[in-house]
A and B are shown apart, each in its own frame.
Chain A
Amino acid sequence: AQKITQTQPGMFVQEKEAVTLDCTYDTSDPSYGLFWYKQPSSGEMIFLIYQGSYDQQNATEGRYSLNFQKARKSANLVISASQLGDSAMYFCAMREGQNTGNQFYFGTGTSLTVIP
């Protein structure tokens, strides 16, 4: 079974509007971390936001927020007030266990296009 599933290959959003990128995960480990990365066309991976499995509140970082629904095993990324520079690939990732050196599992990504 896939550890991370991203079901939206491509998304479009109007500039200044909000957009939600979906991510579901599968793990039996009670301790895990969920990450979102942005990959512009240049190829670099940019860390956006983190949510720990024991965190009670949804994570927020500026215009990014993570809608964490533990019972549904979903960790959707919400981008508010979209900007043209948000056009990129977005990857959801999970790391299981306490060791921060454990491998990440990545989804297949969502390509976001912001329309002026």
Chain B
Amino acid sequence: DGGITQSPKYLFRKEGQNVTLSCEQNLNHDAMYWYRQDPGQGLRLIYYSQIVNDFQKGDIAEGYSVSREKKESFPLTVTSAQKNPTAFYLCASARLYIQSNYGYTFGSGTRLTVV
């Protein structure tokens, strides 16, 4: 079955460490996105990519980095520069320029906790 796989489901990080969250899709979707979810703040866009080897910053990109070397993969690295990384991270994907009622497909999320 096609879908988006995020791993790990839970991740613990020590302060000062970089960690990488995995997001893989087999839907042949062109665009991929990373959102951060905090209680009471909804989902905020970190980075997105609509084509391989190209990506754009979202609203809260500081302290994060991404790569898009393959269409299927869009890993997110949370660097030590991110001051408050504890949050729920959601990856999503979408096809470009198809029928307008087509929305995102989401992964199941990664819960990152700084210890």
Contact = CB atoms under 8 A, between A and B. Distances in A.
Contacts, number: 68
Interface string A54-94: 00000000000000000000000000000000000001010
Given A35-B103, A45-B90, A100 B42 contact: no
Contact of B100 (A4, A44, A100, A108): A100
Interface stretch (B16-24, B61-69, B78-86, B91-99): B91-99
Interface in A34-54: 35, 42-45, 47, 50, 52
Contacts of B100: 33, 52, 98, 100
A103 B58 contact: yes
Interface residues on B, range: 20 to 34
Size range of the chain A interface in the assembly = 20 to 34
Contact of A107 (B42, B101, B108): B42
Contacts of B41: 108
B58 A100 contact: no
Given A9-B40, A106-B42, A44 B106 contact: yes
B109 A101 contact: no
Given A50-B101, A50-B103, A106-B43, A101 B94 contact: yes
Contact of B97 (A4, A45, A91, A101): A101
Contact of A100 (B44, B92, B94): B94
A interface majority secondary structure: loop
Contacts of B104: 45, 47, 104
A99 interface: yes
B22 to A, nearest CB: 16
B55 to A, nearest CB: 12
Contacts of A33: 100-101, 103
A86 to B, nearest CB: 19
B30 A47 contact: no
Contacts of A52: 100-101
A109 B41 CA distance: 8
Given A50-B103, A103-B58, A98 B97 contact: yes
